[in-house]
């Protein structure tokens, strides 16, 4: 369900690093009014999503249809109440029209979740080996007390120290666990996926892209010629290296790759450390360019 919600957010205009072929398939299966229907959750003014509309309703091992039924029941019962808890008695404009007929809006939302699952289900099944490996990796790190290293690997800007978690999202904040469980939820939506709920009484859960997700997307494009540079560096770093010749800024690269600036910074730092890129400051912006070594690698593996 976390993956499906991430895909829905991407289709509504919140980039999650979803590959174009999957984004196109998801959007083609949504109703024509999907963007308007999703504005309360993913529009420019939206900051939080009510718990009853998210995977928070049932973070346990249930099949998708059962989880969907739980969301439908919770949303019909508590949507208006939870929007009020989030925003106070004055309903914000982006929720006002939906709450005038909440039952109808909830039914449309549930139908959209189901339509995304219909398209996404085969991809979810193919990604099961990646998810199984991630369960073992995180479990081992947790037992060995290396959770902070796991979080830094998932997102280099996340920090977990002294039972407090820093999430520098659109609205950066520290969240204290206060005895709650920290639940990591790998998603199979896009390489820039980010979805979390820090306000539950018994847990704080984070959704993040399962490592090596790009390999799954690459394997699902039959007949596509493999890119040697992407096989060596990974598709995101290969794209960064190719476009660094024009001296793009970090924000321009983030727009190009449809991901957060922190993700671009992380991958650019690795390419700089490898001697393939260098940074240059222009006023308030940082631009990156290829080094001679980067040019040579690009010529060798791409013929570019």
Q: State residue 75's pLDDT score.
A: 93
- CA–CA dist 292, 304 (Å, integer): 14
Task: State which H helix or E strand residue 206 sits in.
Answer: strand 203-209
Fold of 226-302: Arc Repressor Mutant, subunit A (1.10.10)
Q: What is the Cα–Cα distance from 36 to 274, expressed in whole angstroms?
A: 45
Q: What does the block give as tokens for 144?
A: 């060995």
Contact status, residue 123 vs residue 22, Cβ threshold 8 Å: yes
Q: Round to whole Å and give the CA distance between 157 and 168.
A: 7
Encoded tokens for 53: 């509309």
Check residue 226 and give its pLDDT.
Answer: 64
- Packed helices 102-126 and 2-11: angle between N→C axes, nearest 10 degrees: 110
Count of CB atoms situated within 10 Å of the CB of 32? 6
CB atoms within 10 A of CB 126: 14
pLDDT at position 4: 94
What is the pLDDT, as a whole number, of residue 304?
44
232-266 tens-digit pLDDT: 887 788 888 888 877 788 887 877 676 777 778 88
Q: What are phi and psi of 240, to 5 degrees?
A: -60, -45
- Are 233 and 256 in contact, with CB atoms under 8 Å apart? no
Domains of the chain, by residue range, sit at: 2-209, 226-302
pLDDT in the model for residue 5: 93
SS3 of 135-188: HHHHHHHHHCCCHHHHHHHHCCCCEEECCEEEECCCCCEEEECCCCEEEEEEEC
**pLDDT at residue number 277:** 92
The answer to whether 165 touches 177, Cβ cutoff 8 Å, is yes
Q: How far apart are CA 255 and CA 127, in angstroms?
A: 27
Question: So what's the pLDDT on residue 171?
Answer: 54
3-state secondary structure of 286: strand
Residue ranges for the chain with pLDDT beneath 70 = 58-60, 155-164, 166-174, 218-226, 256, 258, 302-304
H helices of the chain, in order, are 2-11, 20-28, 34-42, 64-87, 93-100, 102-126, 128-143, 147-154, 213-219, 228-233, 235-243, 250-257, 261-273, 292-302
pLDDT at 109 (0 to 100): 93
């Amino acid at each position: 369900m976390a993956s499906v919600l991430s895909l829905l957010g991407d289709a509504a205009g919140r980039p999650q690093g979803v590959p174009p072929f999957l984004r196109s398939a998801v959007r083609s299966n949504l109703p024509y009014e999907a963007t308007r229907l999703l504005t309360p959750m993913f529009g420019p003014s939206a900051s939080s999503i009510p718990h009853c509309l998210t995977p928070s309703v049932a973070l346990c091992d249930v099949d998708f249809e059962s989880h969907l039924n739980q969301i439908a029941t919770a949303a019909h019962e508590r949507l208006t109440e939870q929007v009020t808890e989030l925003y106070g008695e004055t309903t914000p404009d982006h929720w006002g029209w939906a709450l005038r007929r909440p039952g109808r809006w909830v039914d449309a939302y549930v139908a959209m979740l189901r339509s995304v699952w219909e398209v996404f289900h085969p991809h979810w099944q193919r990604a099961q080996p990646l998810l199984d490996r991630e369960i073992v990796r995180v479990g081992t790190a947790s037992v060995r007390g290396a959770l902070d290293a796991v979080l830094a690997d998932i997102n280099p800007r996340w920090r977990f120290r002294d039972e407090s978690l820093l999430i520098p999202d659109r609205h950066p904040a520290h969240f204290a666990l206060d005895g709650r469980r920290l639940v990591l939820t790998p998603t199979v939506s896009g390489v820039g996926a980010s979805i979390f709920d820090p306000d539950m009484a018994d847990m704080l859960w984070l959704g993040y892209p399962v490592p090596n997700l790009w390999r799954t997307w690459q394997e699902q494009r039959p007949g596509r010629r493999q890119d040697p540079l992407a096989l060596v560096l990974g598709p995101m770093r290969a794209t960064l290296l190719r476009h660094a010749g024009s001296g793009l800024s970090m924000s321009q690269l983030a727009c190009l790759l449809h991901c957060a600036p922190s993700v671009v910074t992380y991958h650019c730092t690795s390419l700089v450390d490898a001697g393939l890129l260098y940074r240059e400051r222009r006023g308030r912006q940082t631009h990156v360019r290829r080094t001679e070594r980067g040019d040579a690698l690009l010529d060798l593996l791409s013929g570019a």
